[in-house]
Structure 1
Amino acid sequence: MSAIKTIQEQHTAGPQAIGFDYQFYYFMLLALDLKFGQKIGFEVKDDVHIDKEDGTTTLYQAKHTIIKNSKGNPQNLTDLDIDLWKTLSTWIDFINADKSSDFLNKHTFILVTNKSENNNDFITTLNTFKTDNNSDVVKLKIDELASKTQDETLKKYFKKVTKLSKSKLGVFLKKLTIETGEDEIIDKIKKKILEKFYQENLVDPIFESLSSNLNSAKYLDIKAGQRFEISGEDFGKRFGKCFKVATELKPLPKRNLPVLLPDDLESQVFVKQLIDIGEIQSGSNYIRDYTTHMLKFLNEFSYWSDENFVLPTDIEEFKRNSIQIWINEFRSKYRQIERQINNGSSIEDLEDDIKSLGIEIVDYIRKQDLSIQGFSALGIEFSNGYYYTLSDNLELGWHFDWNNKYKKE
């Protein structure tokens, strides 16, 4: 079995595949910061590139390893790392292919890797050069590294770098950046999304939609023989729909907690109001149902508020709009009653009519499917529960004279 396993491992490309994924996700990370006037490309001029509005281009090489060190972190980027020197050699080929200095003057070079930087003498020397501009020291360091290896491929890469003219080498080194420890790339993309939309519950849906659509677009463009490049202006047109989840109406989360009913259901103010107009009778099973609707709403509403799913301003607007619906219907139904009272009729003489109209108001309000700003409708059960809550708090009522009848209690 061990021999079979060895053959299987030789014919699988897991580490190589994750390397391509790493390049793609790094492309996605950069695309999230793309500005108008810029264009980003994947596997066009390099692993990733960005053409800027001033006519310059940044080339990115993204290198990933799955090999861990003794501490469980990605292996170090050593002085003799083949990915490092192959990348520099490739960029030197680009420079040498251009007989003028136009390419070098218009390009910057960034190597990105998840490998750790730990006592890398070349990176230390490079950073020192950017302060003192002494390229001779860099050449000496490269010659020293070449003497430490018998790998002919590495020696070839070293030689190619040191053969660059002193002036070009100086410009190249100034424009060269090596970024190590660029790991957990998906988490960094999600953090970037969170920084843009500020709502954690939107991060995963946006990430999934954007990564899926970018990947599909990449496949289709390359399959059609086209370059996969996206301008800042085109990004919104082609992939703006991926961010619609941030503006689309969505349901509020529900926990469906158990409801603990009070011992004396009929002592609740909202139940008294309904009994008084004859909408329900004392002892009715509906009292338990209505109380359940109210408590279910209160359980979830407290959760939405405490966890900041809804803002205080959203809550105030929700309440104001909900009460306004009731006010409009209340005024409409009781307009004639109000005229009769103003003309000398007593409320007692109009009690039967008032109760009938009160029931009509309840029936109308129960048909309302309320919604909180930015979210889809709550549903009839929760909407009814909210109105029972307002009624229980004596913020609205059904009887024409509810404000006097119940606030005296």
Structure 2
Amino acid sequence: MAEEKSFTEKTSAGDTSIGFDYQYYYFLHRILNLGTGQSVGLEIKDDVHTELDADFNILYQVKHTVQTNAAGAPIALSELDADLWKTLYNWSQVISDKVDGREEITEQLKFVDKTEFHLVSNKSHSKSNTFLQLVVDYQAGDGDFEPLRAHIDYLTSKTQDAGIKKYIEAVAQLDLTVRKKFFEQLRFELECQDIIGRVKLSIREKIIDLEKIDGVFERLDSRIRSDNFLAVKSGQSIRISFEEFASRYSKIFDDARSKKLVYHRFEPDLPEDIFAQRFIKRLIEIDAVTPSDDELAVKYTEHKLRATRNLDRWVQDGDIISDEVEEFHDDVFAQWENEFEGSFEEDDNLKEVAAAARELLKILRRERFKLNQTDLDIRFSNGELYYLSDIGRIGWHRDWKNNV
């Protein structure tokens, strides 16, 4: 027996949110399968739509359910399913839309002839769904529409749900020739559950190595979500062509195919006491940071964390090996050692020592270090210096080893 939900659970936005995400990721999946001259839109002509060559459209209604059967799998699509008939109803209204100039049957036929209608859902197939089987039989058979027409009439009388009855009747009211062509153009993509897996498979088919797929997915997902948000905010519709996709996002794929390292984005977890870090203390002792400059201390800490987190991620992803990381640290240490030696005079006073130390820091901050054929950017290179200082391997003051 199903557990009764509380009012709060019933009104939770979780079910709606996952439905929107499911629709978005299907949109992303369709983008990755575009061909030259084609485009994909989100919530313009339908939940998702694709414009193909020769003025041919594919409309996608994308339906997600969180309801499960006794085995824990998504429920099946029944022949009186509200999602099914509301979808067919919506399409019947699109087909006969007077505002779009399709009041006449000839115009409706032209539209249906150049349109496919896809219902996409994570719901499963049902052997008891006679309606879907009759649709398949009609499409594969000799064009006899009568069994399907008669079954639709039967479903109208069978249902006790006034809303579903209205939906079925609206479909049945389409002109017979239009209706027959409409059902020829219907497609059902059921059991489409692992939509993110489909997106990643599409990325793999762009000749992306297995270990790079997650990184490409994260960058692409982040960029397209941001671009969609900005488009909606500025009042634009969300539509992208193959050419636009190639222009805006091809670098993500190029980076993944190259041997150059690609930076990963993340929100750094800052330590509770920024000024307790050893590398910050080293900067304070040469007056490169003041004990009250929170903003600068946070910025330098973020550089350090960005460098260390990316190094860890690259090792985990197999982009580099741990030996290369150690060699990288040694190379940076050697550059620091070369600059450190000779930076101070024996008779320098404390003020002159601090000034010379800041000059040493300034020189090394200009360096862009190199790792695995990649010239690292300034923030990363600076972060590496701060990391080596933080682990006690390098310093700036002449007497840094003697200072606490």
Question: Is there any run of 5+ residues in structure 2 with no aligned partner, and where?
Answer: 263-314, 321-368, 377-404
What secondary structure is seen at the aligned counterpart in 1 of 2:119?
strand
The whole-number CA distance in structure 1 between the counterparts of 2:73 and 2:7 is: 28
**1:192, distance to aligned residue in structure 2 (A):** 1.8
**What is the alpha-carbon distance in structure 2 between the residues aligned to residue 223 and residue 77 of structure 1?**
36
Structure 2 residue aligned with 1:77:
77
Tell me by how many angstroms 1:105 deviates.
Answer: 2.1
Query: Cα–Cα, structure 1 residues 210 and 308, in superposed 2: closer, same or farther, change >3 Å?
Result: closer
Is the CA contact 1:63–1:113 (under 8 Å) kept in the aligned structure 2? yes
Q: CA deviation at 1:222?
A: 1.3
SS in 2 for 1:54: helix
Match of 2:197 in 1: 187
State how far apart, in whole Å, the 1-side matches of 2:153 and 2:42 are: 34
Shift of 1:242: 2.9
Give 1:197 shift: 2.5
State the partner residue of 1:103. 111
What is the CA-CA distance between 1:198 and the residue it aligns to? 4.1
Give the direction of change, closer, same or farther, for the CA distance of 1:133–1:143 in structure 2 (3 Å limit): same
Residue 215 of structure 1 is aligned with which of 204, 225, 238?
225
Structure 2 partner of 1:18: 18
Partner Cα separation in structure 2 for residue 370 and residue 178 of structure 1: 52
Q: Which residue of 2 aligns with 1:52?
A: 52
Distance change (3 Å), C-alpha of 1:180 and 1:94: same
Three-state SS of the structure 1 residue aligned to 2:36 is: coil
Residue matched to 2:255:
245
How far the C-alpha of 1:159 sits from its partner, in A, is 0.7
Aligned identity (percent) is: 37
The structure 1 segments of at least 4 consecutive aligned residues displaced by more than 6 Å after TM superposition are 307-310, 369-376
How many residue pairs get aligned? The number is: 263
Matches within 5 A, 1:6-45: 6-45=6-45
CA contact (8 A) 1:202 1:245 kept: no
TM-superposed deviation, 1:217:
1.1
2:209 corresponds to 1:199? yes
Question: 1:190 offset after TM fit, Å?
Answer: 1.1
The 1:222/1:162 distance shift into structure 2, 3 A limit, reads same
SS of the equivalent of 1:23 reads helix
Which of 176, 180, 197 in structure 1 is aligned with 2:186?
176
Radius of gyration: which is bigger?
1
**RMSD (CA atoms):** 2.7
> Deviation digits for residues 25-70 of structure 1, max 9, x if unmatched?
0010110011110111001110001111211111001100011111
- The aligned amino acid for 2:58 is T
* 8 A Cα contact 2:211 2:318, kept in partner: no
What is the aligned counterpart of 1:166 among 176, 181, 184? Answer: 176
Distance in 2 (alpha carbons) for counterparts of 1:375 and 1:189: 31
Q: 2:79 aligns to what SS in structure 1?
A: coil
1:113 counterpart (121, 138, 141): 121
SS in 2 for 1:196: coil
How far apart are the structure 2 equivalents of 1:309 and 1:10?
46
Shift of 1:126: 0.2
| 1:193-215 CA distance string (max 9 Å, x none) | 12223411111110011111111
Q: Report the secondary structure of 1:197's partner residue.
A: coil
1:108 partner SS: strand
Q: Which amino acid aligns with 1:128?
A: D
Give the TM-score normalised by the residue count of structure 2: 0.61
Unaligned runs of 5+ in 1: 252-303, 311-368, 377-409
Question: CA separation of 1:370/1:19 partners in 2, compared to 1, >3 Å: closer, same or farther?
Answer: closer
